[in-house]
Amino acid sequence: MSTGRFSRVYSAVALAAAALLCGQAALAQVSAVRLRSGELLGVVADGVASYKGIPFAAPPVSDLRWKAPQPVLPWRGLKRADTYGPSCMQDPSFAKLFESPAPISEDCLYLNVWTPAKSPSEKLPVMVWIYGGGFTGGMTSIPGYDGTKLAQKGVVLVSIAYRLGVFGFLAHPDLSRESGKGSGNYGLWDQIAGLRWVRANIAAFGGDPQRVTIFGESAGGMAVSMLAASAQAKGLFQRAISESGGNLGPPKKGTEGGAGPQLLESAEAVGKQFLDKLGAHDLRAARALSAQALMSAQGPGLATPFRPVLDGAVLPRDEYEMYQAGDFNDTPVLIGTNSDEGGLFVKGPLTPAQFESQVRAAYGECADVILAANPHATDAEALRSAQNLMRDSTFAWSTWAWAKLQSQKGQGKAYVYYFDHPTPQTPNGSSHAAEIGFVFRTLGGPGQGPSGITGPVSPEQRATSELLSSYWVNFAKTGDPNGPGLPSWPAFTVQSQQVMHLDAHPAAGPVPNLRELTALDKYFAWRRQQNKGARASH
């Protein structure tokens, strides 16, 4: 796209946004709402009413630790909803990195609502945000996730919290026996409870409970993928957006390359060993442990063995195979990845010999196929290929596989993007999570994290933000990202694998990393076959 055409596109998007904002600024009159659980008083600013810290389930503490979320406890009187609820238990360094103001607590099942509606009869589309953070960190109170500016485009924005790490994903044989339906996915049950709250209550905020879009990034995008395949979430949303996230890889048993969920049996063994080391040999003793004792045993940062598991309830089996069988929640999907996802996670230096050794250790019989698709003759090539392999094996392959299966097996269309907006901090492309500030229209503000844009925002960056947020909002409204003044975004099909290149010259084009994805496709098919062989032998 020429500079002149980009300017014309930007002007069209900006004028449409300005007109929409002028219309919305006078609307936000829904400052108090009555719910089944009690009355709420929100805060109106910039044409949007916000409600923060709304409890959607009972505090998951004491005897409710490691149980599915229970009904919210009603309150008396008018509850002021002007402060975020506590963030779920995690390493405090994550909150500092993203400038979150909320305290950290095991009592954390709260959500937030931003609405531009002037009355409950508006029936605006609803977007429900699910944060990322490796299922170990993350919170709704990150300033970059503030929903005001996205809601100004005519949607009701909701962000929901969910339990993390050992609190959200500990599996254990005794927990499975207690529930009668597996264990380990309490964080996913929290998300489902939040969506059920939205279905029951969002009309009071001017939202349409029959026009709900779930969207998330990284672990949040993976969770969107899981909800898209879970019968427990059926009917709770009508569209899905996944930014750098998918769950189509085969189950993992150990250190195999690529992402994938845990098998229940192996996750239970990890959980039992964890609690045994703490001297908690039954559930009563485990639930008596302090939250800090569990956090200390889990360890710092994002390193944790506790992640989503094929529990037989939320996630019954391999999601790829579920899609092949047509067993999923069929909605339109908008999914994609960033050009330099791996740059945040893989650092140099790295020699060709080191890269080859890593690939052979992780990819087994398919190592030669992977190496052939990833140039590594020099140190620079080896590092770049290691970063790209991390991007593709963790995020991009699952997105590509999801798009193919949705377009083949479903009625809802798939729209795929490739975000590539280099900055001085990330000259090789867009890092992991870099698109979030563009989508939320919070560029330049606090809470952008290591990949976001802080400080002055250029006209080109502002234009890209208007482009992305318009696509996302259009999709939430209609199930199609296209709209007046926007570059045409075709649906993805197996026959015509067109993706939207969101860069300095936004336009549809071929999958840019198709060679690498095709190599990984062979690897994941081989690994899935290995898993079947192992099951047959048992």
pLDDT tens-digit readout, 298-348: 999 887 899 999 999 999 999 999 999 999 999 999 999 999 999 999 999
The yes-or-no verdict on residue 13 having pLDDT over 60 is no
Q: Which of 106, 341, 435, 466 is catalytic?
A: 341
Classify residue 164: in a domain, yes or no.
yes
The number of C-alpha atoms within 13 Å of 266 and in the hemisphere containing its C-beta is: 14
Which of 172, 376, 421, 432 is catalytic? The answer is 432
Q: What is the pTM of this model?
A: 0.94
Percent of the chain with pLDDT over 90: 90
Supply the CATH number for residue 68's domain: 3.40.50.1820
Given a cut of 80, whether residue 362 has pLDDT beyond it is yes
Give the pLDDT confidence score for residue 532 in this predicted structure. Answer: 82
Is 352 domain-assigned? no
- Do strands 124-130 and 110-115 pair parallel, antiparallel, or not at all (unpaired)? unpaired
Give ∠ CA 317-333-464 in degrees, rounded to 5.
135
User: What integer pLDDT is reported at residue 49 of this predicted model?
Assistant: 97
Q: What is the residue whose two structure tokens read 């492309």?
A: 429
Task: Confirm whether 354 is domain-assigned.
Answer: no
Q: What does the pLDDT average to over 3-8? A: 41
3 pLDDT more than 50: no
What b-and-e string marks burial along 333-350, b requiring 16 or more CB atoms within 10 Å of the CB?
A: bbbbbbbbbbbbebeeeb
User: Does residue 363 form part of some domain?
Assistant: no
H-helix or E-strand containing 23? Answer: helix 3-25
Contacts (Cβ under 8 Å, ≥6 apart) of 85: 52, 53, 54, 55, 102, 108, 109, 110, 140, 161
When pLDDT is cut at 50, 70 and 90, the band that residue 537 belongs to is low
Q: What is the pLDDT of residue 424?
A: 85
Closest CA to 69 of 41, 88, 91, 94: 88
User: Which ranges of 50-147 does DSSP label H, i.e. alpha helix?
Assistant: 92-97
Is pLDDT larger for residue 259 or for residue 286?
Answer: 286
Predicted pLDDT at 24: 40
Annotated catalytic residue 218: yes
**Residue 29 clears pLDDT 80, i.e. is over it:** no
pLDDT band for position 533 (cuts 50, 70, 90): confident
Enter the tokens of residue 429: 């492309």
Residue 531 maps to a domain: no
Does residue 22 register a pLDDT over 50? no
Q: What is the mean pLDDT of the chain?
A: 93
Give catalytic status of residue 121 as yes or no.
no
pLDDT in tens, 55-99: 999 999 999 999 999 999 999 999 999 999 999 999 999 999 999
> Residue 538's pLDDT is what?
58
* Beta-strand runs (E) in 36-96: 38-41, 43-45, 48-55, 78-80
316 falls within a domain: yes
**Annotated catalytic residue within 100, 218, 430, 431:** 218
**Structure confidence by residue, pLDDT tens digits, 104-159:** 999 999 999 999 999 999 999 999 999 999 999 999 999 999 999 999 999 999 99
Q: How confident is the model at residue 536 (pLDDT cuts 50, 70, 90)?
A: low
Decide: 431 and 344 in contact? Cβ < 8 Å: yes
Residue 17 pLDDT exceeds 90: no
Q: Does pLDDT of 379 surpass 60?
A: yes
- Choose between 21 and 186: higher pLDDT: 186
Domain assignment present for residue 377? The answer is no
pLDDT tens readout for residues 391-409? 999 999 999 999 999 999 9
Residue 406 within a domain: yes
How sure is the predictor about 535, in pLDDT bands with cuts at 50, 70 and 90? low
More confident position, 162 or 252: 162
Total number of domains constituting the chain? 1
Q: Which residues form the domain of 167?
A: 3-345+398-512
